[in-house]
Amino acid sequence: MRLIFLGPPGAGKGTQAQRVSQRLGIPHISTGDILRQAVANQTPLGQKAQSYMDRGDLVPDDLILGLVRERLQEDDAQSGWILDGFPRNLSQAKFLDELLAEIQQSCDRAVNFTVPDEEIVQRLVARGRQDDQEETIRHRLSVYREATTPLISFYEEQSRLLSIDGSQEMDAVTDHLSQSLAA
């Protein structure tokens, strides 16, 4: 099974991705993890990414896309994967579709974890991280919604979107997700 997990920061997609990954025996692929691994392994793309990160700049889309391409072609990703945190916008989604066609894979479902903003703010403030101040969180949510609303429509139009209520208790979310994916 090949899945894309979408959802705002704090929606629980990383936790659910880990659970589904273990249950299905497929890799949970986070773009943040890919970046860190490429940098640690000093791959050519990792070295390029490092130069942006050292300057405090965002790693450009084309570099992220190259890293995703490399990762999806690794042996453990041939029978399936869960992409967490990618694609983040419509142009990345279109690139991903082209890439998957090129490497003869396809995405089964895009799972959108929905959680009311107020609950996300509460969850993230409770984490106590320095960058989890309410004003910052609300700004991140606004940026997220702006970038992903077209993305959600894109997968909905392709009949690949599955929406999951991420505001439930963690095990209930996992159960609902598992039942929905099995259907």
* Residues annotated within a binding site for AMP: 31, 36, 57-59, 85-88, 92, 129, 140
Instruction: List, as residue ranges, the binding site.
Output: 10-15, 31, 36, 57-59, 85-88, 92, 127, 129, 140, 168
Cα distances (Å, whole numbers) of residue 16 to 62, 123, 164, 169, 174? 27, 16, 11, 12, 6
Instruction: List, as residue ranges, the binding site for ATP.
Output: 10-15, 127, 168
Q: How far apart are CA 47 and CA 14, in angstroms?
A: 26
| Residue in the structure block whose two tokens are 């943040």 | 32
Q: Which of 2, 12, 42 is nearest to 114 (CA)?
A: 12
| The pair of three-digit structure tokens given for residue 32, joined into one six-digit string | 């943040």
Length of the chain in terms of residues written? 183
